A and B are shown apart, each in its own frame.
Chain A
Amino acid sequence: NAGVTQTPKFQVLKTGQSMTLQCAQDMNHEYMSWYRQDPGMGLRLIHYSVGAGITDQGEVPNGYNVSRSTTEDFPLRLLSAAPSQTSVYFCASSWGQSSTDTQYFGPGTRLTVL
């Protein structure tokens, strides 16, 4: 199993550009989520999905869109990149949304917006 994969590993954007961060998992997990990691702030939830066709906002959703057309894939779209979106982005997945379900993380995407 590859686990959770993310592409690209690194990306540089100019302000106003759009792009999609890819996330895929091969563990048949129902729950998937996107976090961003900023220095001194830990990880914060952007969007999450409890199954194909179902998505919802986390604590910092502004400027991002998601969709979940399959169980495996959960892409994150930046609509119009801003320097405040410079961060490391992690995708994670788990069997379900129970408090006992461990979330497994992808390797991360380091995004810089100029």
Chain B
Amino acid sequence: AQKITQTQPGMFVQEKEAVTLDCTYDTSDQSYGLFWYKQPSSGEMIFLIYQGSYDEQNATEGRYSLNFQKARKSANLVISASQLGDSAMYFCAMRSLGTASKLTFGTGTRLQVTL
């Protein structure tokens, strides 16, 4: 069975600072994908970044980077230079074959960016 754990229900960060949102996962599959989604207060789910289990380099997308440590089964999201618009819920998710190809989600971390 797959499982995603996000241990930080809420986080605060000051504007322009960097923040790390934690995500650990558990799976017996060798091939899987790890995803981060942002859910602002308006409710939509916005795809941020993807990391494949066989990718040797950490993924980056603009101010987002994924700190992938395969041996520790962690896939932390790093947001650099936080902006007020980054305030939202952030979900870590995993996808692999053999599980209806579904995304397995964590319970999310609510990030609040302050002045």
The docked-state distance in angstroms from the alpha carbon of A29 to that of B108 is 27
The docked-state distance in angstroms from the alpha carbon of A42 to that of B97 is 20
B47 is an interface residue with CB less than 8 A from chain A: yes
B103 contacts which chain A residues (CB < 8 A)? 35, 43, 45, 92, 103
Task: Report the minimal beta-carbon distance from A81 to chain B, rounded to whole angstroms.
Answer: 21
A98 contacts which chain B residues (CB < 8 A)? 33, 97, 101
- Contact pattern, A 32-51, Cβ under 8 Å of B = 1, otherwise 0: 01010000111101001010
The docked-state distance in angstroms from the alpha carbon of A99 to that of B50 is 10
Q: A31-B101, A98-B101, A99-B101 are in contact. List 14 more A-B contacts (CB 8 A).
A: A33-B102, A40-B107, A42-B107, A43-B93, A48-B100, A50-B101, A56-B100, A57-B100, A59-B100, A101-B101, A102-B33, A102-B50, A105-B44, A110-B43
Q: How large is the interface on A (under 10, 10 to 19, 20 to 34, 35 or more residues)?
A: 20 to 34
Indicate if the CB atoms of A102 and B108 lie closer than 8 Å.
Answer: no
Q: Which residue of B lies closest to A108 (CB)?
A: B43
The docked-state distance in angstroms from the alpha carbon of A33 to that of B101 is 10
B14 is an interface residue with CB less than 8 A from chain A: no
Instruction: Identify the 6 closest CB pairs spanning chains A and B, nearest first.
Output: A97-B101, A42-B105, A105-B45, A45-B102, A99-B33, A43-B105
The docked-state distance in angstroms from the alpha carbon of A56 to that of B108 is 27
B31 is an interface residue with CB less than 8 A from chain A: yes
- Contact pattern, B 78-107, Cβ under 8 Å of A = 1, otherwise 0: 000000000000010101110011110111
